[in-house]
Each structure stands twice: as C-alpha cells, then as structure tokens.
Amino acid sequence: MRNCKCEGFTYFGILITVALLGSSLAAIGASWSVQKRRANEAELILIGQTFRRAIASYYNSKSAGANQYPTKLDDLLSDTRGGKMERHLRKVYRDPITGDTDWEIVRLADGAIIGLASRSSGEPFKKDNFNPWEASFTGAKCYCDWRFLYLPQLVGDTSVTP
C-alpha cells in the first residue's frame, strides 16, 4: 500500500478545470445573446425607417395625384395608381425580433396604413438616445410600442427623409 496523501489530486484538478470552462462558456453565451438582441433592435429600427420612408414615398407620389396612404403593404411593392408601376419598397421585410413578416399594421379609421410596429412583447434594451423622429420610443415597455409612423403633420413637411 502507498502512503501518498495526494490521491485524487488529478481528478480534483480536472473537475476544477471543467467547472471553470463551463462558467466561461456560460458568460460568453450570455454576452453573445445580449449582442444579438442589440443587433436585432438596430435592425428593427432600420427596417422600421425603411417602411416609414416607403409609406412617405407612396403618400407623396406625384404620379398618383392627391396624397393618399396605402391600404395594404403590397401597395408599397407595386404602386400602379399613376398608370405606370412604381416600387416604394423592394419586399416586405421580416421583423428581426419575431422572425416573421406578420407586422402589427397601424391604420387610420378609413383603413389607410400610416405605419407599423413589431408584434413582440419583449422588453427592449435600448431605452433612450433615439433620433428625433423616434422620440416616442423613449422608455418603451415592449417592442410593440416602437411604432414607425408617417404623419406629414408630425414630420413638419412632406419630404421622404424622416
């Protein structure tokens, strides 16, 4: 029989190494998750601005005559009101938060589309430091409160550059 007092030292060292490796991977995973959510928020804002510009372009289209809002999102993809086809939007983008193209459509009483919002009830990381035309997003409790609207009276003019 051996009189070594160091039995199990290697096993204990491997357990410590595995525990440290596991906690390191968990921290990296959490950090990656936060970065992914922040990237999705930035993408949501970019896509929302794209929809807002498309609605503004449709509304201000000179080929159609009087200012009017679209009644469905497909109107932004192919606008034939003026006799020739005009595209205000390339495609109906997916919501980066939900991963779906099923947006919450914001309409006027007559059914005209003035904007859209995400259907996600998740709480955003970004709470402030928004652009002036997104000031209403400050302190939002969920992504569904981020409403990307085009209202010429709120923009101050009828330009396509909100």
Q: Residues 76-104: pLDDT tens digits?
A: 999 888 788 889 999 999 999 999 999 99
Name which residue leads in pLDDT, 133 or 139.
Answer: 139
pTM of structure:
0.76
Mean pLDDT across the stretch 106-113?
95
pLDDT at 105: 96
Mean pLDDT across the stretch 26-52?
87
Say which residues have a Cβ less than 8 Å from residue 122's Cβ, sequence separation at least 6.
97, 142, 143
CA atoms within 13 A of residue 41's CA, in its CB half-sphere: 20
* Mean pLDDT for all residues in the chain: 85
Q: Which of 46, 55, 100 is nearest to 73 (CA)?
A: 55
Give the C-alpha separation, 149 to 152, whole Å.
10
Give the C-alpha separation, 61 to 158, whole Å.
10
Over 60: is that where the pLDDT of 157 sits?
no
Domain ranges, ordered by start, for the chain: 9-155
